[in-house]
Amino acid sequence: MDINLVAPAEIDSVMALVKGAIEKMHRNGIAQWGEYYPTREIFLADIAAGSLYAARIDRDIAGIIGLDENQFSEWKGQDWADNKGKPLAVHRLCVSIAYQGQGIGNKLMCFAEDYARANGYTSIRLDAFSGNPISLGLYDSLGYRRCGVFNVHHGDIYCFEKLL
């Protein structure tokens, strides 16, 4: 498996991956993501910024992850431990339904941690929908600490942080 930047020409593959994952989440009663988020425009902006990475298996995009310094406004006021360092933000982690259950999300998060260390970041911050037990379990298993919660129209979102 290789992990590298997503090219603009791969936007349709990214959107197909995300659409499949959203449909599966909704079938499983996880009311996360949808037509409103994440949009094609958001992913195109990630690609243009050089912040969207893909895990690839035999040329297939098995999963994606966004890495940047952009923190959502809802993250302000959370109980972050790293208040003087340089946090890296993880956004839009998503694994293709064809590759779920094979550790792709774990490998993408390990890639994020390696990337952060190599680029002088002192922590990683992210958020996850409270109704997605798979995401919550992943972040808990990797040693991320819950730092707070905020609410959006579909439910509570937990903030997570890991000091590096």
Instruction: Please tell me what DSSP assigns to residue 116.
Output: H
Q: How far is CA 99 from CA 82, 94, 131, 147, 152, in A?
A: 33, 10, 21, 30, 29
Read off the CATH number of the domain in which 53 is found: 3.40.630.30
What's the predicted TM-score (pTM) here? 0.96
For the chain, percent of residues with pLDDT exceeding 70: 100
Residue-range definition of the domain harbouring residue 30: 2-163
Q: Is the pLDDT of residue 154 over 80?
A: no
Q: How far is CA 36 from CA 1, 2, 10, 105, 135, in A?
A: 31, 30, 21, 23, 20
Q: Residue 127 burial by CB count (10 A; 0-12/13-18/19+): exposed, middle or buried?
A: buried
Compute the average pLDDT of residues 83-96: 97
pLDDT the model gives residue 117? 98
Least confident stretch, 31-35, 57-61, 76-80, 147-151: 31-35
For the chain, percent of residues with pLDDT exceeding 90: 94
Tally of structural domains, the chain? 1
pLDDT tier for residue 9 given thresholds of 50, 70 and 90: very high
pLDDT the model gives residue 155? 87
Q: Is the pLDDT of residue 118 over 90?
A: yes
Q: Residue 161 burial by CB count (10 A; 0-12/13-18/19+): exposed, middle or buried?
A: buried
Contact criterion met (CB below 8 Å) for 31 and 155: yes
The rounded Cα 119 to chain-centroid distance in angstroms is 18
Instruction: Please tell me what DSSP assigns to residue 20.
Output: H
The β-bridge partners of 88 are: 124
pLDDT the model gives residue 68? 98
pLDDT tier for residue 31 given thresholds of 50, 70 and 90: confident
